[in-house]
Structure 1
Protein backbone atom coordinates (compact mmCIF):
# COMPACT_ATOMS: atom_id res chain seq x y z
CA UNK A 1 0.00 0.00 0.00
CA UNK A 2 2.78 2.43 0.93
CA UNK A 3 6.18 2.44 -0.73
CA UNK A 4 8.14 3.30 2.40
CA UNK A 5 11.36 3.41 0.40
CA UNK A 6 9.89 6.29 -1.64
CA UNK A 7 8.71 8.02 1.54
CA UNK A 8 12.22 7.83 2.97
CA UNK A 9 13.79 9.02 -0.32
CA UNK A 10 11.51 12.04 -0.39
CA UNK A 11 12.17 12.79 3.26
CA UNK A 12 15.93 12.64 2.63
CA UNK A 13 15.59 14.87 -0.47
CA UNK A 14 13.62 17.66 1.18
CA UNK A 15 14.22 17.13 4.90
CA UNK A 16 11.83 16.12 7.64
CA UNK A 17 10.15 19.53 7.91
CA UNK A 18 9.76 19.82 4.14
CA UNK A 19 8.34 16.32 3.97
CA UNK A 20 5.81 17.07 6.70
CA UNK A 21 4.74 20.20 4.81
CA UNK A 22 4.42 18.32 1.49
CA UNK A 23 2.49 15.46 3.11
CA UNK A 24 0.10 17.84 4.89
CA UNK A 25 -0.50 19.81 1.69
CA UNK A 26 -1.11 16.63 -0.30
CA UNK A 27 -3.55 15.26 2.25
CA UNK A 28 -5.51 18.53 2.31
CA UNK A 29 -5.65 18.81 -1.48
CA UNK A 30 -6.32 15.10 -1.96
CA UNK A 31 -9.21 15.24 0.49
CA UNK A 32 -10.79 18.02 -1.57
CA UNK A 33 -10.24 16.09 -4.82
CA UNK A 34 -11.72 12.90 -3.40
CA UNK A 35 -14.73 14.75 -2.03
CA UNK A 36 -15.28 16.37 -5.44
CA UNK A 37 -15.07 12.97 -7.17
CA UNK A 38 -17.53 11.39 -4.76
CA UNK A 39 -19.92 14.36 -4.94
CA UNK A 40 -19.99 13.97 -8.71
CA UNK A 41 -18.02 15.87 -11.29
CA UNK A 42 -18.82 16.25 -14.95
CA UNK A 43 -17.31 13.26 -16.79
CA UNK A 44 -14.83 15.57 -18.51
CA UNK A 45 -13.33 16.69 -15.18
CA UNK A 46 -12.91 13.26 -13.62
CA UNK A 47 -9.69 12.49 -15.49
CA UNK A 48 -8.02 15.69 -14.33
CA UNK A 49 -8.79 15.01 -10.67
CA UNK A 50 -7.55 11.45 -10.99
CA UNK A 51 -4.38 12.61 -12.75
CA UNK A 52 -3.64 15.02 -9.90
CA UNK A 53 -4.25 12.33 -7.28
CA UNK A 54 -2.15 9.77 -9.16
CA UNK A 55 0.85 12.08 -9.53
CA UNK A 56 0.77 13.21 -5.94
CA UNK A 57 0.25 9.66 -4.70
CA UNK A 58 3.26 8.44 -6.68
CA UNK A 59 5.37 11.25 -5.29
CA UNK A 60 4.47 10.25 -1.72
CA UNK A 61 4.73 6.50 -2.26
CA UNK A 62 1.00 5.76 -2.10
CA UNK A 63 1.17 3.00 -4.69
CA UNK A 64 -2.33 1.53 -4.26
CA UNK A 65 -3.93 4.93 -4.60
CA UNK A 66 -1.85 5.69 -7.68
CA UNK A 67 -2.92 2.39 -9.27
CA UNK A 68 -6.65 2.91 -8.71
CA UNK A 69 -6.36 6.48 -10.01
CA UNK A 70 -4.49 5.30 -13.10
CA UNK A 71 -7.22 2.77 -13.84
CA UNK A 72 -9.87 5.47 -13.49
CA UNK A 73 -7.83 7.92 -15.53
CA UNK A 74 -7.70 5.40 -18.40
CA UNK A 75 -11.47 5.01 -18.29
CA UNK A 76 -11.93 8.77 -18.27
CA UNK A 77 -9.48 9.23 -21.16
CA UNK A 78 -11.48 6.67 -23.13
CA UNK A 79 -14.60 8.78 -22.67
CA UNK A 80 -15.95 6.69 -19.83
CA UNK A 81 -15.49 8.96 -16.84
CA UNK A 82 -18.91 7.92 -15.62
CA UNK A 83 -17.59 4.36 -15.16
CA UNK A 84 -14.94 5.40 -12.64
CA UNK A 85 -15.67 3.84 -9.26
CA UNK A 86 -15.27 6.97 -7.16
CA UNK A 87 -16.26 5.09 -4.00
CA UNK A 88 -13.28 2.79 -4.57
CA UNK A 89 -10.98 5.77 -5.11
CA UNK A 90 -12.24 7.27 -1.85
CA UNK A 91 -11.83 4.00 0.06
CA UNK A 92 -8.28 3.46 -1.20
CA UNK A 93 -7.42 7.11 -0.43
CA UNK A 94 -8.69 6.81 3.13
CA UNK A 95 -6.85 3.51 3.70
CA UNK A 96 -3.65 4.95 2.21
CA UNK A 97 -3.98 8.09 4.31
CA UNK A 98 -4.45 6.07 7.50
CA UNK A 99 -1.50 3.84 6.68
CA UNK A 100 0.76 6.78 5.87
CA UNK A 101 -0.17 8.70 9.00
CA UNK A 102 0.11 5.59 11.14
CA UNK A 103 3.51 4.73 9.76
CA UNK A 104 4.76 8.27 10.19
CA UNK A 105 3.51 8.33 13.79
CA UNK A 106 5.34 5.09 14.53
CA UNK A 107 8.42 6.49 12.84
CA UNK A 108 8.30 9.64 14.98
CA UNK A 109 7.73 7.62 18.15
CA UNK A 110 10.76 5.46 17.35
CA UNK A 111 12.92 8.54 16.80
CA UNK A 112 11.95 10.03 20.17
Structure 2
Protein backbone atom coordinates (compact mmCIF):
# COMPACT_ATOMS: atom_id res chain seq x y z
CA UNK A 1 0.00 0.00 0.00
CA UNK A 2 0.83 3.64 -0.13
CA UNK A 3 2.17 5.17 3.07
CA UNK A 4 3.09 8.71 4.05
CA UNK A 5 6.52 10.07 4.86
CA UNK A 6 7.29 10.97 8.49
CA UNK A 7 6.15 14.29 9.94
CA UNK A 8 9.42 15.49 11.45
CA UNK A 9 12.26 17.91 10.77
CA UNK A 10 14.90 16.34 8.54
CA UNK A 11 16.81 16.98 5.35
CA UNK A 12 18.90 14.89 2.99
CA UNK A 13 20.68 15.68 -0.27
CA UNK A 14 21.33 13.52 -3.33
CA UNK A 15 24.24 14.60 -5.53
CA UNK A 16 24.25 13.38 -9.14
CA UNK A 17 27.47 13.73 -11.12
CA UNK A 18 27.47 13.41 -14.90
CA UNK A 19 30.72 11.82 -16.07
CA UNK A 20 33.51 13.82 -17.64
CA UNK A 21 34.70 11.04 -19.95
CA UNK A 22 31.81 11.64 -22.39
CA UNK A 23 31.83 14.61 -24.76
CA UNK A 24 28.06 15.04 -24.55
CA UNK A 25 25.96 13.40 -21.86
CA UNK A 26 22.31 13.89 -20.86
CA UNK A 27 20.50 12.95 -17.65
CA UNK A 28 16.70 13.05 -17.53
CA UNK A 29 14.95 12.90 -14.15
CA UNK A 30 11.23 12.13 -13.98
CA UNK A 31 9.01 12.00 -10.89
CA UNK A 32 6.85 8.88 -11.11
CA UNK A 33 3.13 8.65 -10.30
CA UNK A 34 2.23 9.09 -7.50
CA UNK A 35 4.67 11.75 -6.31
CA UNK A 36 2.91 13.95 -3.79
CA UNK A 37 4.47 16.38 -1.31
CA UNK A 38 2.23 18.29 1.09
CA UNK A 39 1.68 21.63 -0.65
CA UNK A 40 2.40 24.94 1.04
CA UNK A 41 2.47 28.43 -0.42
CA UNK A 42 5.85 28.94 -2.06
CA UNK A 43 6.85 25.38 -1.05
CA UNK A 44 8.05 26.74 2.31
CA UNK A 45 7.17 23.49 4.15
CA UNK A 46 7.91 19.98 2.89
CA UNK A 47 9.69 20.29 -0.44
CA UNK A 48 12.26 19.08 -2.91
CA UNK A 49 14.88 21.58 -3.99
CA UNK A 50 16.57 21.04 -7.35
CA UNK A 51 19.88 22.86 -7.68
CA UNK A 52 21.03 22.86 -11.32
CA UNK A 53 24.65 22.24 -12.24
CA UNK A 54 24.86 25.61 -13.99
CA UNK A 55 23.99 27.45 -10.79
CA UNK A 56 21.26 30.02 -11.05
CA UNK A 57 18.01 29.86 -9.13
CA UNK A 58 16.95 26.71 -7.33
CA UNK A 59 13.65 25.07 -8.28
CA UNK A 60 11.29 24.15 -5.44
CA UNK A 61 8.77 21.33 -5.78
CA UNK A 62 5.73 20.52 -3.64
CA UNK A 63 2.15 19.40 -4.26
CA UNK A 64 1.49 16.90 -7.06
CA UNK A 65 4.78 16.60 -8.93
CA UNK A 66 3.88 13.36 -10.74
CA UNK A 67 5.28 13.27 -14.30
CA UNK A 68 7.36 16.42 -13.69
CA UNK A 69 10.80 16.13 -15.27
CA UNK A 70 14.01 18.04 -15.87
CA UNK A 71 17.19 17.52 -17.89
CA UNK A 72 20.85 18.20 -17.30
CA UNK A 73 23.58 17.91 -19.89
CA UNK A 74 27.28 18.21 -20.51
CA UNK A 75 28.63 19.50 -23.82
CA UNK A 76 32.41 19.16 -23.69
CA UNK A 77 32.32 20.55 -20.14
CA UNK A 78 31.90 17.54 -17.82
CA UNK A 79 31.93 16.43 -15.16
CA UNK A 80 29.01 18.37 -13.73
CA UNK A 81 27.04 17.85 -10.54
CA UNK A 82 23.45 18.76 -9.70
CA UNK A 83 21.52 18.06 -6.53
CA UNK A 84 18.11 17.30 -5.09
CA UNK A 85 17.50 18.15 -1.44
CA UNK A 86 14.51 16.68 0.39
CA UNK A 87 13.27 18.81 3.30
CA UNK A 88 10.54 17.72 5.69
CA UNK A 89 9.25 20.00 8.43
CA UNK A 90 7.37 19.03 11.57
CA UNK A 91 4.16 20.89 10.73
CA UNK A 92 1.51 18.22 11.29
CA UNK A 93 1.16 17.46 7.57
CA UNK A 94 2.51 14.71 5.30
CA UNK A 95 1.72 13.10 1.96
CA UNK A 96 2.71 9.93 0.09
CA UNK A 97 6.17 11.16 -0.92
CA UNK A 98 7.89 10.81 -4.27
CA UNK A 99 9.64 8.40 -6.60
CA UNK A 100 12.13 9.54 -9.20
CA UNK A 101 13.75 7.80 -12.16
CA UNK A 102 17.08 8.95 -13.60
CA UNK A 103 18.12 8.03 -17.15
CA UNK A 104 21.53 8.93 -18.52
CA UNK A 105 23.00 8.44 -21.96
CA UNK A 106 25.89 9.32 -24.24
CA UNK A 107 24.43 11.62 -26.92
CA UNK A 108 27.08 10.62 -29.47
CA UNK A 109 26.48 6.92 -28.80
CA UNK A 110 30.17 6.08 -28.90
CA UNK A 111 30.26 4.25 -25.57
Q: Same fold (TM over 0.5)?
A: no
- Normalised TM-score (structure 1): 0.29
**Higher Rg:** 2
- Normalised TM-score (structure 2): 0.29
Comparing both structures, which one devotes a greater share of its residues to helix?
A: 1
Comparing both structures, which one devotes a greater share of its residues to strand?
A: 2
